[in-house]
Amino acid sequence: MAASIEEVQSNDPDKQLAAGNLKRMAETLKTISESSASIKSLWENVKAILMQLSTWLGIAQNFFGE
């Protein structure tokens, strides 16, 4: 993003370079967002298993952080 800002502020900006940099940033943020949703879903599935195991292990359910 810094390269895009620098390019936009120059006297003769390379708009394609700025646009390409911003596109890559947007794609990266989208990927991170999608990964975060997947990780949250994975945690919900694992958490359910851990809650069941907590009884078998004889520990409090909040032992695993929930």
pLDDT value, residue 49 = 85
- Identify the domain containing residue 55 by its residue range: 2-64
Give the pair of three-digit tokens for residue 35.
């990964």
Mean pLDDT of 9-35: 83
pTM for the model stands at 0.54
Structural contact between residues 50 and 64, judged by C-beta atoms closer than 8 angstroms = yes
- Would you state the pLDDT for residue 51? 81
Number of domains in the chain: 1
What count of residues does the chain have? 66
Higher-pLDDT residue of 1 and 51 is 51
CA distance 57 to 63: 11
